Each structure stands twice: as C-alpha cells, then as structure tokens.
Amino acid sequence: MSQFVIQGGHPLSGEIAASGSKNAVLPMIAAALLTDEEVVLENVPDLRDVTGMLDILEYLGASVSRSPGKLVLRARKVEQTEIPFELCERTRTSFLFVAPLLHRAGRVCLHPPGGDQIGRRRLDAHFYGLRGLGVELDEDKLEFRRDGRLTPAMLFFDEPSVTATEHILMAAVVAEGKTTLLNAASEPHVQDLGRMLKGMGADIEGLGTNTLTVNGVERLHGTTHRVVSDHVEVGSYLALAAATGGGITITDTVRGHYWMLNRVFERFGISLDIQSDRIVLPEGQVPTIRRDAGGATPSVADGPWPQFPTDMMSPMVVLGTQSQGTILFFEKMFESRMYFVDPLIQMGANIVVCDPHRVLVTGPTGLRGQTVRSPDIRAGMALLIAALCARGRPSVVQNAEILDRGYEKLEEKLSALGADITRE
C-alpha cells in the first residue's frame, strides 16, 4: 500500500489537459460485449477501475489490446456467464455486464459490486428495469435469465440513477421493439455512452434529456469512439487552484458541461473563463463567499444533472475552508460522503457537522500538515487539496491507490502545477 507525502503552503499554477472520463469509459467497456465485432475506444484514461473492467471483459472471453489512451476490444464469443467475486468487488460498474451477457448468452450470475463506501447504493432500479424488459431474476443470488430477445417497455425510474440508466439503456438497444425510459439520468457520461451505442447502430432519441426513447435493433456492430473528457476531474483541479491561491488552464474541455460548476464558483467569488475547449481560472483571486440576498448564509447542494455533481462536493468543502465567510454544504445523495471532514477538522478546519448530510464551513483557516487516510476517490482528492494548502510539516495521505481509480497521472499533473508531492 502506498501513500502521498506532500509539502503544501504555496499557490499551484500552470496548464494541464483533461483526461477521458472514468464514468463514461467504464460502461463503454461493458457495452463492447453487445457485439462480436471490434470496438475501439480512444482518449481512455489509465485508471485502476478501467483495468478492473477490462479484467472482467477478458475473463468473459473477449480480446483486449491496450496502448496509451486507446483500447481495442473484441468479444467474438462469450466463454463465461458467471463473474467471480474477486472481479465483481473491484468496481461498482461490474454490474453493468448483466445486460450485455443476457443479450449474448441468455444468462448471467455474479456477485455484489464493489466501489466507494459513501453510503447505500441501491440496485433496485436495475432490477426494476430488467424485470420490465422481461428478465427472470433472483435478487438474492444475483442470477439473471432470458430466453430470446428482451421485450420493450415503458419504464419510470424512481430516481435518475446514472448506472441504472446506462444499464437499462444497454438492454433496451437490443430489445424487440420500442422502450421509453422516463426520469432517466442525463449526465455527460450517460450521453457519451448513448453516442457510442448510436455509433454501434443503436436507435436512441432524447440524449441529454430525462426521457430516452429506444427502438431496439436485432444486432449491433463495431465502432470507433472517442471518450468525452472528465468534468469531475476538471472541477477538482479548478478547486485545487482556487484553494491554493493559484491559477490554472485546463484544455480538452466541453463548454456545456460547466454551467452549474461556474455558478457555484461564483458563489465563492471565483471567476472562470469558460471557452469552447478550455477553462481558465485566472491567478490572483481571493476566495470570498458571497452571501445570498438579505445576507443569508449561502449553500451548495448536489443533485442529478444538470445540478451540481455529488462527486464535486468533497473538493469544494476544502475550498470553503480557504474562503472568507461561511457556507453550508448539503449532500443529498449519499449519507456517508461527508464523513471525510473529520480529518479536515484535525488539520485545523472550522467545520460544524450538522448531521450526516450537512456541514457548515467557515474560513479562511490555516490548515496544518497531518497524516490522513483516503476513504474514497473524491474524499481522497479533497484531502490532497487540503494537504497542498497546509503549512508546517509535510502531510501524508494514506491509501493512495484509491485515487488511482479515478485520477489519471495524478503526481505528474500535480507536479506540472508546482506541487511538492512524492509517492512512497
């Protein structure tokens, strides 16, 4: 197990390129199983979660060729329909192989998926959607079976779950008829999966909205697809630059992915120059909380797209500790995400934990170097940002491997911005 050793206390500035989206490429790897033809993915980030999904794909019988930023995948035949526990537990998206395996083999058995421990993450929407499409399933044993093609349906999700939308979309594109998904997720990575499926011959309407209409086809073909850039990674580096008092330019971005993020940074008194293919956070800005009308304490709350992404809450809490004023963070989606603030308090942050979902942050506070442990990907990045703000003795962020699941070339990018960071 490795750890990061960080000497913080100075502004970080420079230019980096956005990586391909982790949350887009993982379901795309599962979707490659929907066809026996070659699927080529470009702009693929080098992440542990990507490796975990590729290991499952290879186990099922597919060939995998990997080069920097590129995957060539081909599942000429399916050799396994049961995925062992040790592969399932490595990543949350292991569950997304159910629909492609049903299409190719008619049955599948697997184990509960892994992933970050940030609270309960329901599978109910997956079960609901699969049942609606005619799948016979045993929820307790996680066994699924379907003879012949899936049947179309009109489905309404009780929550706009990203992974459930991706999963049922993969099932619906090969169902026999028209399927409508209501209250579907519309995040950029969901849209990008849809574009990849359309490139494989799928008939999908409504991408970018909460209603998806899918006319199933009997067969999909291969495709070449460039993975969209990761808006959460971009947001994390913007928060890092703002918190340390630096400036940053991030290239390979998509302008339309950052409108809500921009509104939240405005709440911290930080201006962004959002261009068609890059974002600039100018140097020399002092984070200052802007009160709501009437002098009320402002808040940052997460929600389904296009609201503020839940994965950005942790990095923004750290920015709050370095901002003049008081702000409330309201995490609505996961009941355990905010537990990571305890190490921040030990580092000197002025944070009041109101309940498992809400914390009140007052700043700016001088953070002290400490030894902390990364509990999940986004909290780990937040603790890295805090360590880069901290003065005094070096900070140690343990469990560094968890950040490798979600942030590509982390030390390289941080070093390019002037960070004093080493991995031990």
Residues tagged active-site? 116
Structure tokens given for 201? 């011959």
Q: Are 350 and 318 in contact (CB under 8 A)?
A: no
Structure tokens given for 388? 């880069």
Cβ contacts of 329 within 8 Å, gap of 6 or more:
299, 300, 301, 313, 316, 317, 320, 338, 358, 359, 360, 361
Q: Are 387 and 422 in contact (CB under 8 A)?
A: no
Q: Sign of the C-alpha dihedral, residues 369, 373, 377, 379?
A: negative
With tokens 């702009």, the residue in question is 43
Structure tokens given for 385? 């940002």
Burial of 337 (0-12, 13-18, 19+ CB in 10 A): buried
Q: Which is it for strands 278-281 and 273-274: parallel, antiparallel or unpaired?
A: antiparallel
Give the C-alpha distances (Å, rounded to integers) separating 235 from 253, 311, 320, 376, 390. Answer: 11, 9, 14, 17, 20
